[in-house]
Amino acid sequence: MTLPLGTIVDALGGELHGDPQLLIHRLAALDSATYGELSFLSNARYRDQLSSSQATCVIVATEAQEEARARGACIVTNDPYLYFARVTQLWRRTHHAAPAPGVHPSAIVDPSALIDPTATVGPLCIVEEGVRIGAYSVLKARVVVAQDCTIGKRCLIHPGVVIGADGFGFAANAGAWEKIEQLGAVRVGDDVEIGANTCIDRGALSDTVIGDGVKLDNLIQIGHNVQIGNHTAIAACAGVAGSAMIGANCTIGGAAVVLGHLTVADRVHISAASVVTRSLVKPGHYTGIFPIDDNDQWEKNAAAVKRLHQLRARLVALEKSRLD
């Protein structure tokens, strides 16, 4: 598996300084790259790794080009990280066959499902009645798409994903729970990627809606009636509870939780493991994590947290006595 530098630049643009015949055998990180490997510098933090990198060629921005050219071949481009992403895409389509369109013989597909002929339904997938799957979408393997759910175009859905299981809805009745049948479905937009074993529940009355370009990592829970705006990305193990409305172009860190019925504005960034307990109506970066510490220190501070409002009252009293 090789690509000459010239082929890369012909396909993706950028300004090549170096021999277009040079063969790239692998893509690699700057600090570990060796001869025959192509790397990139996108984060100024790693700038000092540039001159000593053993990579055959490095993708750099204009401001690093002088230093890059001093050490060997380089490709100069506006956005080295984006360029690198496109090299990975070129690499894959050069060296790996695209998934064959069509339905794997082991998949269980209801005859009423409308699957675009360019879409791929992988092995052991289950596609129930009334489902629609758009052009060029790929269900990798062991994906369930339940009754009446729709998947847009160019989606990539990883193994174990469950789309359209029942939302969690019950009415209390004399100490027991009565089921609220979940009569909505799930609508997934175009260019959505959904990670392994992630679950998106069907709506109770109306649909759960995942916008265009949304990226969901593994093991995420999306509750019923949730709406997620376009191009929002959510990292693994996060949970969005029922009827929450997440804006567009948000990022939600891994294991973060958004409680039910809340609204999160566009361009909100939530740190990993933070719990959104109120609507966030302004763009910004929000965090709520108990800081990790040596267990002994933590025990003392946690005990103090549990008496914090008393401590505050004592401070107020002292302040007052000072004034007397």
- Give me the active site residues, please: 224
Contact pick of 41, 144, 149, 186 for a copy of itself (by CB under 8 A) = 144
For the CB of residue 321, give the shortest distance to a copy of itself in the complex, in Å. Answer: 6
Q: Could you give the 3-state DSSP secondary structure of residue 58?
A: strand
Contact pick of 218, 263, 265, 279 for a copy of itself (by CB under 8 A) = 218
Q: What are phi and psi of 31, to 5 degrees?
A: -80, -20
Contact pick of 236, 265, 279, 283 for a copy of itself (by CB under 8 A) = 236
134, 119 in Cβ contact below 8 A?
A: yes
Contact pick of 11, 135, 165, 265 for a copy of itself (by CB under 8 A) = 165
Q: Which span sits near a copy of itself by CB under 8 A: 15-23, 47-55, 60-68, 301-309? A: 301-309
Query: Is position 153 an interface residue for a copy of itself (rule: CB under 8 A)?
Result: no
Of residues 75 and 235, the one with the C-beta less far from a copy of itself: 235
Q: Which 4-43 positions form the footprint of a copy of itself (CB under 8 A)?
A: 26-29, 32
Rounded to the nearest 10 degrees, the angle between the axes of helix 80-95 and helix 5-12 is 110
Query: Is position 100 an interface residue for a copy of itself (rule: CB under 8 A)?
Result: no
Buried b or exposed e, range 185-213, using 16+ CB within 10 angstroms: bbbbbbbbbbbbebbbbbbbeebbbbbbb
Residue with tokens 């080009």: 65
**Contact string 248-267 vs a copy of itself (x = CB under 8 A):** -x----xx-x-x--------
Of residues 150 and 198, the one with the C-beta less far from a copy of itself: 198
Question: CA 10, CA 21: separation in Å to the nearest integer?
Answer: 12
24, 95 in Cβ contact below 8 A?
A: no
For the CB of residue 305, give the shortest distance to a copy of itself in the complex, in Å. Answer: 6
Judged by CB under 8 A, the number of residues near a copy of itself is 119
Query: Is position 111 an interface residue for a copy of itself (rule: CB under 8 A)?
Result: no
Residue ranges of E strands in 203-277: 208-210, 215-216, 221-222, 227-228, 233-234, 239-240, 245-246, 251-252, 257-258, 263-264, 268-270, 275-276
208, 184 in Cβ contact below 8 A?
A: yes
Query: Is position 231 an interface residue for a copy of itself (rule: CB under 8 A)?
Result: yes
Of residues 62 and 301, the one with the C-beta less far from a copy of itself: 301
Query: Is position 178 an interface residue for a copy of itself (rule: CB under 8 A)?
Result: yes
Of residues 9 and 236, the one with the C-beta less far from a copy of itself: 236
